[in-house]
Amino acid sequence: MNDSSPENFEGYGRRCLTVFAVVMCVTLAMVGVFYANLSSRPLAIGLTLAAAVVNAGLVASYLMHIISERRLIHIVLLFTGIFAAGLLVLSIGAHWSVPAGTIH
Amino acid sequence: MDIPYTIEARPDTGTYNAKIGMWLFLASEVMLFGGLFSSYILLRVGAPPGTWPHGWLNVPLGTINTCLLSLSAITTLMAWVACKTRNLARFKLFHGLTLLLAIVFLGIKSYEYRDKFHHYEVQLADGRVADGHMIENDPKADHIVLHGSYFKNHAELMERHPDEKEAELTIPRADIKHMENYGPWHNTFLAIYFTLTGLHALHIIGGILVIGYLWGPGSKMWYTNPEQFTNRIEVSGLFWHFVDLVWIFLFPVLYLM
């Protein structure tokens, strides 16, 4: 996004509005799943999480420009992703290694 | 003394320093929220069946707040585009809108917090639970008045439905075994709810301060160094998008799941 002519940014503005519209539609779909009160709770959780990941992907890729960012920033984000995923895996792993005799 | 690489790209990184700095800061923020999300998962997965609340939060208000924050992400981008196309009036308009949307978001959030502090769970001597918003709680009176409904037991209270019928309940104090509002001390869910949304709200306040400064006194830089000012708007925008990104996960995790 180095060419700062108004024509160049006109298309960019339209793309941002499209991303906003998609994010809104996905959000409303998530809320719809909540009100639909699906009989399978794991299915509802799975659908809701998938929708959240789609929204986050759109915001990060297009609004934060990750899609067109420098390689260095991609590397920083890759390491962040690995450490954040490790944090989640450790937490979930801890759930399966509760000391014997623990009472809930 | 001039600070290097505020406008031009550093040869080894390929971009200006503030942007690299902001991405490194955001990486540390991912770890901060990642730790709290991990705690949430651990608490939720570890909760015995039937003890994790569902439907306790106001979904319409949460949806409105999601719309407001997503819209503010667009207005902050439009403000940056206005800087790029050298249009200060447009920048002021869009950045002002971002500020307004952020303040409305905080207003709705504080309304939700207030609602929780006025919401009570009252355990009765006969084993039932009365749940609702406190209308009358005069310590001298021999009764309290709630706007809510009765539940057979505590477990029934965990699963709320939007179509529940509520009425005014007058409860004699002699029948009350225990009474507590929905503050962070009430249960694990509310503790993690207040922690996550409170930390997020602090980020919103921080964003408002930065955006407000750049919209007001900080915009003087536009007349002396528009390129550096545009880069500041881009970097503050990155932070704002991150705040939006966190909410994109907080809303479904806390309100819908």
Same domain membership, residue A54 and residue A88: no
Domain extent for A76: 70-99
A47 to chain B, any CB pair closer than 8 A? The answer is: no
Same domain membership, residue A62 and residue A90: no
To the nearest whole number, what is the mean pLDDT of chain B? 93
Residue position matching structure tokens 């029948």: B175
The answer as to whether A104 is a domain residue is: no
Q: Which of residues 192-251 of B touch A (CB under 8 A)?
A: 238, 241-242, 244-245, 248-249, 251
Tally of domains in chain A: 2
Same domain membership, residue A49 and residue A6: yes
Same domain membership, residue A74 and residue A64: no
Return the pLDDT at A6.
61
The answer as to whether A90 is a domain residue is: yes
Q: Tell whether the model's pLDDT for residue A5 goes beyond 90.
A: no
Same domain membership, residue A81 and residue A54: no
Q: How far is B76 from chain A (nearest CA, A)?
A: 10
Q: Tell whether the model's pLDDT for residue A13 goes beyond 80.
A: yes
Question: What distance in Å separates the CA atoms of residue B107 and residue B103, rounded to the nearest whole number?
Answer: 6
The answer as to whether A79 is a domain residue is: yes
The model carries a pTM of 0.91
For residues B154-173, b (16+ Cβ closer than 10 Å) or e, as one string?
eeebbeeeeeeeeeebebee
Same domain membership, residue A77 and residue A62: no
What is the average per-residue pLDDT within B34-63? 90
Same domain membership, residue A53 and residue A27: yes
The answer as to whether A47 is a domain residue is: yes
Write out chain A residues lying below 8 Å of B254, CB-based: none
A37 to chain B, any CB pair closer than 8 A? The answer is: yes
Return the pLDDT at B257.
86
Q: Tell whether the model's pLDDT for residue B30 goes beyond 90.
A: yes
Return the pLDDT at B189.
94
CB B257 within 8 A of CB A50: no
Residue position matching structure tokens 């779909």: A29
Question: Percent of chain B at pLDDT above 90?
Answer: 81
Of B206, B191, B190, B193, nearest to B243 by C-alpha is B206
The answer as to whether A37 is a domain residue is: yes
Residue type, B162: P
To the nearest whole number, what is the mean pLDDT of chain A? 86
Return the pLDDT at A3.
52
Question: What distance in Å separates the CA atoms of residue B52 and residue B43, rounded to the nearest whole number?
Answer: 9
